[in-house]
A and B are shown apart, each in its own frame.
Chain A
């Protein structure tokens, strides 16, 4: 186990709703990244936070937003859910900014 936890494990939402996914990193891991993994694909980078500030973003619309807290936990918020948002969402934390530990993921299904 990596010490990175995510909640919930599974989630079912309706199109148009909003969702918040949570991640808890190891103490000292002040860098956290979020990835979206569609079925049969590799993970796609959503954004990264370093010391509670967003310092990088992938090709995702503004309805994907995040927060990082001083206690090394973080959130991914998605507004106005679309069917294509159905995926496994992974968070990854790092102490060094070089090696990343991934959490088990949250499986989001949008109907």
Chain B
């Protein structure tokens, strides 16, 4: 129940295209869903995050779509660029009752390659 399933494992998109990465979860207690971008040999960087009280959030070329009833959320990268080539991780979290801390459960990651 603590898993976050992410797909696809890898994705190749032409420059200017739309990249779509999907995540699904089971635990209805999750209430914060961030997306991170990671370049090789670097730490993850926060891209965008959403709470379940909204169905969509957009920041620049990045949009999160959230479907609470289906327990799914997705990242859309519009006008994909070669510089977007990286690994993307979704995560889900909720306030841990024992520690009072938001702990993340990460998806398995999607390796995106944008062709020039």
Chain B associates with chain A: no
